Amino acid sequence: MKLADCGQERVQTTQTDRNRACDSKHFNGTRHALYTGVKLRIAFYLFLLALVTGAFAEQTIARYLDLPPEASPKVMAADSSGNLFIASSLLAPSGLYQARILKTGTDGRTLASMDLNMSSITAAAVTPKGNLLIAGGSWSTDFPLVSPVITKAGPNSALLVEIDSQLRNIVFSTRLGGTTGQGPGHGGTSIGALAVDPAGNIYATGSTADTDFPLTPGAFQTQPPTGGPWGTAGFAFLTEISADRKRLVFSTYFGGGAVLCNGGSHCIGVYAFTRGIALGIDSDGDITIAGPTDANDLPVTPGVLAPQCLCTSDAHGAFAARFKAGGSSLKWATYVPLGSSQFLPSTVSSMALDSSGNVVLAGITPTGFPVTPGAAQMNVPEPYSLSGFVAKLDSLGQRFLFATYFGAGTEGQQPEVPGMALDGQGAIWITGTSDPKALPHATAPFFGTAYVASLSADGSSVKAVVTAPEGAAGRALTVTPDGSVIALGSANSMLVTTPAAGPSLIAVTNSAAPQVSNVAVPYELISLYGIGLGPATPMNAQVVNGVVTTALDGVQVLFDGTPAPLLYAGPNQINAVVPREVWGRDTTALQVVTPTGTLQGPTMSIRSSDPAVFLIAGSNGVAAALNQDGSLNSEANPAAPGSVVSVWATGAGFLYFGRIDGAIVTDIPSPVLLPVSVLANPAKGGTYSLEILYAGDAPELVAGVVQVNFRLPGQVPPNGANLELQVGDVISPRFSVYVR
């Protein structure tokens, strides 16, 4: 009897016995309805994307950092030789966060490493000697201070650390801040940006609520933040530390305490804030800072672009200010006009100075941003309410030389632009996140929500845009002395763009997951995304004697020289199966043979499992699932609470050591092959494991696709079942199924 009949069969016994009878048929029907026909093959083809050939002027290659999957890269800086310093946050065995700092080449190869007891990482810069400066915070009260310039800062002050170029020793470290900061949301002092001038002097900006923040005689603003009817203000600051690290050259507040609140109980606890999150030094030694604010009384100067904030506690604004070298006086200060909308975020998030001292700003804005004529993107497309923006403010702070929207998104998926740098020709490079279809001048293929883009120096055109899966880019960006553009992602990924010609490899992912990964698992199905990777006419897998071949029209994917079975090869995507031969290694080097040349891909870490469940294309995390009667699970055809549902996954690791790479599974020797768990996350209550009826190879599919049959809970929240698949100690991205 077919499984599809089980739900309709009349069984003259108790309901419990009836469930057991159907469960048995649910497993024993593995060679019948559940595992044959078009419905099953959805699980195999879901990860094949319909992509169109696109073009990108430069060659872009993905590189992965030698970091554990749970690490979160935060900041990046390049030295004069083009080496990169990358600081990441990761959870230590103690349960507290710490910083891991890597020095790498542009190929991602680790040159040096160091761990620091820092709970947060906020900024980085490189000195003329090649030393690394890193800012953040530490929960430790005994963090080693080396020749500190401030000795009385409190535990909520910022931490500034200088490490030698080989990441061996701390050569200087100090707290920066006062002792009194109790402002809501401030908790003392934090550094938002760092810079170093050619003489080696250090500049820092950020935010402070300390009324005794260390100031120097003749500082531009000495009046500290004060308490108001709704709370205590937070000010920006600008501080310079001498090249010999022995004194403060200057230190000043920059802020205001007046904030407009629309009234009502939600105004309780509202305070004015101004934060410096970007900093640059021009050829005259003048210092420019920028960041978000909701203060309506900043010390702006006459004749500037925007003398009024026009912001409230619910609709924030931004500012830019330029101090004369020495920090004692202000050359100009202006608000940066952003779109105004209550409860929607708006801010400046990155900044760069061009050779003429003009200020290039980027960030996020609601609609209403003052775009200039001929802007690359004039409008925020429907139905989005937020956009990124890029604008160039002239060197006097008086007008926008150009201003444009860039991309679009929602409050839940904000179109951020946190990384910016200018290349040697003055072109503007940015990285961020956006709906790829909303990016100006973007052409297919659309690989995901992260992007790297280049605008002309005058903002009149977008030179190029490349999109990437989540986590591949979008966190920080730098340009090395040789002209390479490095975009850092949140998933231990870098995209390296060079002027060289040839195919591009943008990202490598588990084929069932939307986010890039630096992990490879034996038998895992992976997808490689890029431009010019495979034949112009896509090819599906070729099966010879029950085994998927390792070449398609001259395309191969090699892991340390071992060819991988290929499931698909097209101009912008290759799907492959990680060969079992990688087992027992710490890392594996990826190489892609394409019709136009061979790519040296990233080095990936080897893990025992990295599970992900195949999803319905275009859905918001909904699994490709079959209901107990063999029908496709959908919003119109949900599963019954307590019934059995089947999903497919990959990245579960070894099922049999004897499986041939690329073998099509025809035998099922055991009912349950994997120690897996399906974890339910109901709206109320704790996470718990569901009953597993089958977990193992998916018959008639390539080895590496895992089928899991599990019973839904008897009571499911109205929004459906939110689930996770656990294999070993690794948990998959969350997925859901429709339940009535």
Q: Is the pLDDT of residue 148 over 90?
A: yes
Query: CA–CA separation, 557 vs 535, rounded Å?
Result: 14
Return the residue matching tokens 């490490």.
Answer: 163
CA-to-CA dists, residue 395 to 308, 355, 357, 371, 604, angstroms: 19, 10, 5, 19, 45
Share of the chain above pLDDT 70, in %: 86
Q: Is the pLDDT of residue 36 over 80?
A: no
For the segment 348-388, what is each residue's pLDDT rounded down to a tens digit? 999 999 999 999 999 999 988 999 998 999 999 988 989 99
Buried b (16+ CB within 10 A) or exposed e, 330-340: bbbbbbbbbbb
Q: What pLDDT does 662 receive?
A: 96
CA angle 440/424/415 to nearest 5° reads 30
Return the residue matching tokens 């060659």.
Answer: 59
Return the number of other C-beta atoms located less than 10 Å from residue 36's C-beta: 16
Q: Residue 230 — very low, low, confident or very high, per pLDDT cuts 50/70/90?
A: low
Q: What pLDDT does 140 receive?
A: 79
User: Which of helix, strand or coil describes residue 581?
Assistant: helix
User: Rounded mean pLDDT of 123-131?
Assistant: 98
Q: What pLDDT does 550 receive?
A: 98
Please report, as a single letter, which amino acid is at residue 42: I
Q: Residue 521 — very low, low, confident or very high, per pLDDT cuts 50/70/90?
A: very high
For the segment 41-97, what is each residue's pLDDT rounded down to a tens digit? 433 444 443 333 334 557 899 999 999 988 999 999 999 999 999 999 998 887 889
Q: What pLDDT does 50 receive?
A: 34
Residues 6 or more apart in contact with residue 283 via CB below 8 angstroms: 355, 357
For the segment 653-671, what is each residue's pLDDT rounded down to a tens digit? 876 567 899 999 988 766 5
Q: Is the pLDDT of residue 185 over 70?
A: no
Query: CA–CA separation, 470 vs 547, rounded Å?
Result: 32
Q: Is the pLDDT of residue 592 over 70?
A: yes
Residue 455 near residue 376 (C-beta atoms within 8 A): yes
Element (H, E) at 17: helix 15-28
Query: CA–CA separation, 109 vs 100, rounded Å?
Result: 15
User: Rounded mean pLDDT of 560-570?
Assistant: 97
Omega prior to 383 cis, within 30 of 0: yes
**Parallel/antiparallel/unpaired status of strands 547-548 and 543-544:** antiparallel
Q: Is the pLDDT of residue 111 over 80?
A: yes
User: Rounded mean pLDDT of 434-446?
Assistant: 85
For the segment 474-485, what is each residue's pLDDT rounded down to a tens digit? 999 999 999 999
Partner residues linked to 390 by β-bridges: 362, 404
User: Rounded mean pLDDT of 695-715?
Assistant: 91
Q: What pLDDT does 669 receive?
A: 60
Query: CA–CA separation, 300 vs 685, rounded Å?
Result: 52
Q: What pLDDT does 553 receive?
A: 94
User: Rounded mean pLDDT of 624-633?
Assistant: 96
Q: What pLDDT does 182 receive?
A: 56
Query: CA–CA separation, 648 vs 625, rounded Å?
Result: 7
Predicted TM-score of the model (pTM): 0.89
> Lowest mean pLDDT: which of 25-34, 195-204, 246-255, 360-369?
25-34
Q: Is the pLDDT of residue 455 over 90?
A: yes
Query: CA–CA separation, 399 vs 388, rounded Å?
Result: 19
- Among the listed residues 353, 395, 387, 349, the one whose alpha carbon sits nearest the alpha carbon of residue 370: 387
Return the number of other C-beta atoms located less than 10 Å from residue 176's C-beta: 28
User: Which of helix, strand or coil describes residue 418?
Assistant: coil
For the segment 365-375, what is each residue's pLDDT rounded down to a tens digit? 998 899 999 89
Between 92 and 182, name the one with better pLDDT. Answer: 92
Share of the chain above pLDDT 90, in %: 67
Please report, as a single letter, which amino acid is at residue 561: G
- Among the listed residues 454, 420, 423, 421, the one whose alpha carbon sits nearest the alpha carbon of residue 440: 454
- Among the listed residues 265, 274, 202, 285, the one whose alpha carbon sits nearest the alpha carbon of residue 237: 274
Q: What pLDDT does 23 receive?
A: 37
Query: CA–CA separation, 554 vs 552, rounded Å?
Result: 5
Q: What pLDDT does 12 receive?
A: 27
Across all residues in the chain, what is the average pLDDT?
86
Convert 27-58 into a string of H (helix), E (strand) and C (coil): HHHHHCHHHCHHHHHHHHHCCCCCCCCCCCCC
Q: What pLDDT does 142 receive?
A: 84
Q: What pLDDT does 631 receive?
A: 95
Query: CA–CA separation, 719 vs 725, rounded Å?
Result: 19
